Amino acid sequence: MMQSRKQKGQGTLFMPNSDQSPPYGLLIFGVVSLLLAVVGTCTGEAWARFGLVVYRAKERKQFWWLIAAYYLGGVCFVGYFLYQVLASSN
């Protein structure tokens, strides 16, 4: 009978010596945030609170603050995911 890696005690793909699964929510949220930043930079539109859209041509300062927050949030969440995965594998 075939057993999974976790049942054999070998861990998961990202964390070979661990019984815990990696926090994929952090990775997904970080990638979505980075995609929003890239799309917003290319189109000149950024999503703000309450479903509002901020346009680069009309509100430059608020637009760039939102884009910077998207990039920073994405990098932080992906970095924390990688920290969790690499720290627990050692």
Q: Tell me, what DSSP letter sits at residue 3?
A: -
Q: Residue 7: inside a domain, yes or no?
A: no
Q: Which residue has the higher pLDDT, 37 or 10?
A: 37
pLDDT tens digits, one per residue of 30-88: 999 999 999 999 999 999 989 899 999 999 999 999 999 999 999 999 999 999 888 87
Domain that holds residue 84: 25-89
Q: Residue 11: inside a domain, yes or no?
A: no
**pLDDT number for residue 27:** 92
Domain count along the chain: 1
Q: By the 8 A CB rule, do 45 and 53 touch?
A: yes
Q: What are the beta bridge partners of residue 90?
A: none
Q: Residue 6: inside a domain, yes or no?
A: no
Q: Residue 5: inside a domain, yes or no?
A: no
pTM, entire model: 0.74
C-alpha 50 chain-centroid distance: 21
pLDDT band for 11, please (50, 70, 90 cuts).
Answer: low
Contacts of 18 by beta carbon, 8 Å cutoff, 6+ apart:
11, 12, 88, 89
